[in-house]
Amino acid sequence: MRPALSVLRQAWRNPAGRVGAILLLIITLSALAGPWFLPDPRAQPDILAGSLPPGLGHPFGTDQLNRDVLARVVAGARVSLSVALLAVGLSVTIGAAVGLVSGYWGGVVDAGLMRLVDGALAIPRLFILLLVLATMERVPLPALIVLIGATGWFATSRLVRAEVLRIREETYVRAAEALGARRRHIILRHLLPNTMGPLLVAATLGVGDVILLEAGLSFLGLGVQPPTPSWGSMVLDSKEVLVSAPWAGIFPGLAIVITVLSANLVGDALRETIDPRSA
Amino acid sequence: MRGWLLGRALQAVAVLAIALTLLFFLMRAAPGDPLSRASEVRPLTPIELAALRARYGLDQPLGTQYVSFISGLVKGDLGVSIEYARPVTALLAERLPATLLLGGSVLILNFTVGLWLGVRQAVRRNQREDRWLTAVSLLGYATPSFWLGLVLAWLVGIKLRLLPAAGMEDPLLSIDAGFGVRAGDVLLHLILPALTLSIVSIAATMRYQRTAMLEVLNLPFMMTARAKGLPEREVIWRHGWRNALFPVITLFGLWLPILVTGSVFVEAVFAWPGLGSLAATAVWGRDYPVLMGASLLVAGLVVLGGFLTDVAYALLDPRVRLA
């Protein structure tokens, strides 16, 4: 396993990956710094003055409640990015844990866990989430994050398990076992570090998936709840004013496209670095 | 082959059984119970709610519920929709053709245009056209289908008035219009939803085909074919593509969940009367039996898709079934 720094450095040499990383950085920075230079998106709405087209005062225009679309897109970036990062962190952790246990223990544990994963993979993630969210009275943001995270680890666990099955037979693992190393030591010291590469790729590509998923749920009214701005719910709100104020929906959608594209570009660059055959 | 087929079929049934059990426990693990929000969007008296709970056996112990859930499934009874007061099975059957029409057109577009573009990319690897096509397909892959649908509906349907932006047929069409007129009308309505769903899903097809084709291009028999003096077109398509088609079959199984998920959004945006919009309205109306029925059907389709993919693979490549 090459040190993380050299992987990142090599991925940086990939022009598409570099573009993606720079875009992600810009999006993150503006999401963090937004509140300092943009009007408060929660500012008292003015229904009578609503739906101004993009202009000097409001570069992205205002929505039907006269809220600044740019300010809401930036505030939505905070929400979408935090949901995506936390949910992906959760699902990668669960996926890695299940994959390691399943791959290293083998036997009944492995068979049981993998059949469970097979079954879970037969139900598209969106439907699992719809079934749970549709019964909930309110969807607090932390609950949404946990639910999205808890439904995203199935494929990751398979990936990690396959890696473990391969590494388990390597000489150094055999040597450690012969020296009497404990399972815990072997898993944490030998197996986990060697699955970091594929995990990193899965996590980066997972960020794009989760942003799209959260936007979709919010578009169906089951994700981030108003008045918290989210890109998906902004597109939903703009449906009513599609003809009179298309900018209210076009800009949040563009934000989704650019962010997901950047995350995927970085993910692809990392994959090509870690596994050059996939290029 | 027969033993292999039987084993694979049993495996599919087992996976389906696990998926159905998961769905059942998902329904029971939900906070409150699945009907707790049904009265939010429509007035239901406590008596009606209690009757509904009894109808779905929610007052029974978990084990009894599970048995009646499964026995209902076997009999094709998925319960009754709260919104429509009709059996869920009938609703699903009614909506299936529209979804098959939409999904089928997207499938055809993917497996003609998508594969063709993927092969072109592989042949022109790392040249300008390859990079350009990669960029466009990545852009499509990053686009939320509901947003693309809205933008296309606004631009093409409302601003330019080129195509109908909602529904499956023109409500003003006279009743005695001939079959040809009707079919043409449906096709016109199909263009925008099918285009939206194809744009967001074609990237996976192209990338898969590109990778598969790249591997074949370097194999020795390609050089043999060229050495024989065959025209380049024949080398690429007859010798290369035929062999690069196997891996793409796997894509079909992976691809079904993407298509189903996408159709929920695209059908909702374009009011396409299929399963996807049925699921979306069930979400809005908290019509749990319909949502559950749609999920069960989708799980069944995904398992069936995976099974058929493997069978097709084994039929075409003997190494699979011998392994």
- Please check whether residue A243 touches B, CB under 8 A: yes
Structure tokens at B142: 């990053």
A6 to chain B, closest Cα gap in Å: 25
Q: Which residue of A has its CA nearest to B298?
A: A123
On chain A, the residues whose CB falls within 8 A of the CB of B15 are 115, 118-119, 122
pLDDT band at B277 (very low <50, low <70, confident <90, very high): very high
Look at A256 and B147 and tell me if their CB atoms are within 8 Å.
yes
- Please check whether residue B298 touches A, CB under 8 A: yes
Distance between CA atoms of A261 and A170, rounded to whole angstroms? 37
Distance between CA atoms of B264 and B87, rounded to whole angstroms? 21
pLDDT band at B194 (very low <50, low <70, confident <90, very high): very high
Look at B146 and A219 and tell me if their CB atoms are within 8 Å.
yes
A151 to chain B, closest Cα gap in Å: 12
Q: Which among A92, A95, A99, A89 has a CA at the least distance from the CA of A166? A: A99
Minimum-distance CB partner of A208 among B19, B27, B142: B142
Give the global pTM.
0.89
Mean pLDDT within B134-145 = 91
Whether residue A279 has pLDDT greater than 60: no
Distance of alpha carbon A95 from its chain centroid, rounded? 14
A182 to chain B, closest Cα gap in Å: 34
Distance between CA atoms of A262 and A76, rounded to whole angstroms? 17
pLDDT > 70 fraction of chain B, expressed in percent and rounded = 94
pLDDT at B268: 92
Mean pLDDT within B126-150 = 90
Look at B139 and A116 and tell me if their CB atoms are within 8 Å.
no
Lowest mean pLDDT among A17-26, A78-87, B215-224, B263-272: B215-224
pLDDT band at A117 (very low <50, low <70, confident <90, very high): very high
Look at B30 and A249 and tell me if their CB atoms are within 8 Å.
no
pLDDT band at B219 (very low <50, low <70, confident <90, very high): confident
pLDDT > 90 fraction of chain A, expressed in percent and rounded = 36
Whether residue A7 has pLDDT greater than 80: no
- Please check whether residue A123 touches B, CB under 8 A: yes
pLDDT at B256: 81
* pLDDT tens string A124-152: 999 999 988 888 877 889 999 999 999 99
How many Cα atoms sit within 13 Å of A90 on the Cβ side?
Answer: 17
Structure tokens at B177: 């219009």
**Which stretches of chain A are assigned E, i.e. beta strand?**
none
Average pLDDT, chain A: 85
Cα B319 to Cα A2, B3, B316, B322: the distances in Å are 36, 15, 9, 5
A37 to chain B, closest Cα gap in Å: 28
Distance of alpha carbon B267 from its chain centroid, rounded? 12
pLDDT at A277: 61
Mean pLDDT within B55-83 = 81
- Please check whether residue A245 touches B, CB under 8 A: no
Mean pLDDT within A195-216 = 90
Whether residue B41 has pLDDT greater than 70: no
pLDDT at A11: 77
pLDDT band at A48 (very low <50, low <70, confident <90, very high): low
Please indicate whether residue B265 or residue A241 has the higher confidence score (pLDDT). B265
* Identity at B121, one-letter amino acid code: Q
Domains of chain A: 4-278 (1.10.3720.10)
Mean pLDDT within B25-35 = 71
pLDDT at B27: 77
Count Cβ atoms within 10 A of the Cβ of residue B126 and give its class: 0-12 exposed, 13-18 middle, 19 or more buried.
exposed
pLDDT at A278: 55
Mean pLDDT within B279-301 = 88
pLDDT at B19: 92
Please indicate whether residue A159 or residue B319 has the higher confidence score (pLDDT). A159
Whether residue A276 has pLDDT greater than 70: no
Angle at CA B130, nearest 5°, toward B129 and B134? Answer: 115
- Please check whether residue B265 touches A, CB under 8 A: yes
Look at B31 and A257 and tell me if their CB atoms are within 8 Å.
no
Look at A135 and B280 and tell me if their CB atoms are within 8 Å.
no
* pLDDT tens string A66-77: 777 788 888 889
- Please check whether residue B284 touches A, CB under 8 A: yes
Please indicate whether residue A59 or residue B187 has the higher confidence score (pLDDT). B187
Mutate which of B15, B139, B146 to test chain A, going by most A C-beta atoms within 10 A?
B146
* pLDDT tens string A250-270: 899 999 999 999 999 998 888
B233 to chain A, closest Cα gap in Å: 25
Whether residue B174 has pLDDT greater than 80: no
pLDDT band at A81 (very low <50, low <70, confident <90, very high): very high
Look at B260 and A124 and tell me if their CB atoms are within 8 Å.
yes
pLDDT at B215: 87
pLDDT at B320: 67
Look at A265 and B138 and tell me if their CB atoms are within 8 Å.
yes
Mean pLDDT within B188-193 = 91
Mean pLDDT within A94-110 = 91
A124 to chain B, closest Cα gap in Å: 6
- Please check whether residue A8 touches B, CB under 8 A: no
* pLDDT tens string A144-184: 999 999 999 999 999 999 989 888 888 888 888 888 888 88
Whether residue B317 has pLDDT greater than 80: no
**Could you give the 3-state DSSP secondary structure of residue A68?**
strand
Asked if B290 and B2 count as a contact pair (C-beta separation under 8 A), the reply is no
Distance between CA atoms of B100 and B107, rounded to whole angstroms? 10
Lowest mean pLDDT among B43-57, B191-205, B229-243: B43-57
Q: Which residue of A has its CA nearest to B16?
A: A119
pLDDT > 90 fraction of chain B, expressed in percent and rounded = 26
Whether residue B30 has pLDDT greater than 70: no
Structure tokens at B36: 């707790």
